[in-house]
Structure 1
Amino acid sequence: MSQQGVLGRFRRPRAPRVPYDGWRELVTPEGVDLKLKVGAYAERFSALLIDFAILFGGLALFSLAALGVFWATRATWSAEFLGVVWLLGVFVGRNFYFLIFEVGPRAATPGKRAMGLRVAAADGGRLTADMVFARNAMREVEVFLPLTFFAARGEGVDGALVSLGALWSLVFVVFPLFNRDRRRMGDLVAGTMVVKAPKKVLQPDLADTERTAARGFAFTHAQLDAYGIKELHVLEDVIRAGDRKSMAEVAARIRAKIGWEGPSDVADRTFLNAYYAALRGRLESRLLFGHRRKDKFDRS
């Protein structure tokens, strides 16, 4: 028997490739396993078109206002002054439009908000201003430079250089299509990604659950002071998500952290609801006396 035939007998069958459904699992620094849906290329492109429409529309109105002032004054000095102001306004709008919106608490421009998207840290951690600045600094190379090449015209050698520059810039435009998380070059440099941020529907039964779950549980002040406002929000997200695996992991962490010696046969969701209600009450009572504890590391 040939060598190829022998190897063929012992060759392992390839496992079927599971299609990527767009969901990504991220583990936060608090140890919470979250599932987020990556923003699709079409959604991101649509958001960019909306932002460009707002940006260029604002710049057009700004230009009309500058022309109106010049037409009203018709002075030589006003032409130079308004020219400088117009260039400054274009520079600020072009470079800080995306930065100002994405560095905010919603981490999304109006276009992203319209498409239900937001910027997030790729490692599940906190989105910092440095990350937002880095991803937007790369937009000059990824977006505005290709637009410059596509709008340029030339003949002979100049035309060939423009064509090569356009092809080189096209790589940045289609780059998100060739990676699973649809990350553009700026996202790779900054360590960010764009994910779906669907509107949360407030569950009306959570408040009732808080009041009833706290009955029968007694937590000491030391046990409640183990966490702060940030952990309270994370705990609320875990409870609302309702994932059994995540609730079991978080419940085990909290029990170990606070040294829980109560009944061990209590369901994880019941325990988390009770601790959430007690922790929220503790933080609110301390806030009345001017003590705001941001997270578990805040000793104020």
Structure 2
Amino acid sequence: MSTLLSDSKTCEKLDRDPTPKHKRELVSILQRLEKEDKIKKADKQFLYPTSENVPRIYGSPKIHKDGTPLRSIVDFTGSIGYNVAKSLADILSPIVGQSEHHVLNSKSLAEDLKDVTLEGDEILNSHDVVALFTSTPIDLTLHILKERLNEDKDLKNRTLLTTDDIIELTKFCLATVAYFSYSGQIYRQCFGMAMGSPLSSLACNIFMEWLEQKAISTAPESCRPRLWKRYVDDVLKIIRKGQVDNLTDHLNTIDPTCYETPPYHPQYACSPEGQTSPATKSRDDL
């Protein structure tokens, strides 16, 4: 974990606990929203930061990968923005997962694939999004979210908050209170989002839906996937043989921080394209 926190591009040490300052900022926003009749008194009481726990980071071992690297997770329970993030997730959840590429769970994926057959020049292959949460740009995600909210005709039936109000609160949860403690030291996350917030997974999905739509629509015909299904940061696709590298190169022109293909990365136990016999099935090439 110390190695992860030593990356200055991702984290920086703070000299003091920013919780009191950010609590005043949140209280000011909530008071304004109540005054404008956008939240009721009961809503304000739920959102009001009565607990001031500093979020804490811990590592969850990825036992399925070589070297057992750690997945960093931040526990936001009891932090000043936790209830706000939970409420925003409820408001925003209906606009996520409407894409044809979205996978809800393994059952829905099996249903999607039950009638799919491969042509002789095709393979079933996967891509993995590298460090999705810490690679997702917050400003761009907020821009995408604003566009989606402006198009959401049902938003007014779910909340009295305006699009600008939601963006303000979302930015507070994802960027302003993006700090955590480890071994008595407080750090601020400099880029991306922290896994563990009730809002970050949803925000990452919003970004990925935009990214994949752009990537697929602009992919050269020769390497354009015939099928693309994504569950959070794992993508299953049908692509022509010999085109995996070309597709990876294209994906990285859309956002060079995100994509890489497992068959050529040493941390994955997968067979490279072209080395899988018809009788052998691996996670990435069929």
TM-score (norm 1): 0.28
More strand by share: 2
Which of the pair has the greater relative contact order for Cα pairs under 8 Å at 6+ separation?
Answer: 2
Larger radius of gyration: 1
TM-score (norm 2): 0.28
